[in-house]
Amino acid sequence: MDDGTGSRTHPLRPDAPRRATPRTRPRGDQARARLLAAALQSFVDNGFHGTGTRDIAEAAGMSPAAVYVHYSSKEELLFALSLAGHQEALDLVAGADEPHRRPAQRLWSVVNAFCEWHAANHVNARLVQYELGSLTPEHAEMIAGVRRQISGTFRVILAEGAQAGVFRVHDLNLMVVALMSLSIDIARWYRSGGEWTPATIGRHHADIALSMVGADPETA
């Protein structure tokens, strides 16, 4: 188990640190990856509260005791999935934003990337976006911090566009929520193999975002 400092301890002897070796570390990484994949599918299929650690262990082809070697609870698995998903989304948004460009170009690029990600990763995104209430208060606050960074990018772009007179934004905070919801809600309804590809949805919703702030997509 993790003692909070990053070191691993024997599940039955918390006072006995176990040193990772070049041979055991990759094996541990593989086991954690299997557990995360199994947890993701189990949570999606049965819901967080309808899933037990035994279900996750069986889906991963491991014993229930093996789960606790790597994660102290199913909530810790949910947190690991949520943190990874939110961090990936944050990195994507940060990479899509180019501060030297015009506000309309920046907004289009960020919304396009954020929406396309939620469609392409709709299974994972649906879980991490709609199971936040199942996290502990401490873990929920850590995720909220990442979400504030994502929304902060939207807020800066909108504020600069409004100040430059190219966006009509009557309530900055409400517009941030509206644009974030436009993107996040894709994970709720999108299914692979349908009429629209993630790229199509990204471009379409990016155009909608510009229309919402009174900018013309054709001249952005």
Number of Cβ within a 10 Å radius of residue 103: 24
94 falls within a domain: yes
Q: What is the pLDDT of residues 108-154, one digit of tens each?
A: 999 999 999 999 999 999 998 888 999 999 999 999 999 999 999 99
125 CA to centre of own chain:
6
Gap between the Cα atoms of 70 and 37, Å rounded: 14
CATH of the domain at 56: 1.10.10.60
User: pTM of this prediction?
Assistant: 0.81
**Tokens 């469609």 found at:** 119
Count structural domains, the chain.
2
**Tokens 């517009």 found at:** 175
Distance separating the N- and C-terminal Cα atoms of the chain: 52
Residue 91 and residue 23 share a domain: no
Residue 188 and residue 135 share a domain: yes
Which domain range does residue 42 map to? 8-72
Average pLDDT of every residue of the chain? 87
Confidence tier at 7 by pLDDT (50, 70, 90):
very low
With vertex at residue 160, the alpha carbon angle to CA 158 and CA 164, rounded to the nearest 5 degrees, is: 115
Token pair of 208, please? 């909608």
Q: What is the pLDDT of residues 18-38, one digit of tens each?
A: 444 443 455 668 889 999 999
Token pair of 152, please? 């902060």
Number of Cβ within a 10 Å radius of residue 117: 23
The pLDDT score that the predictor gives to residue 109 is 97
203 falls within a domain: yes
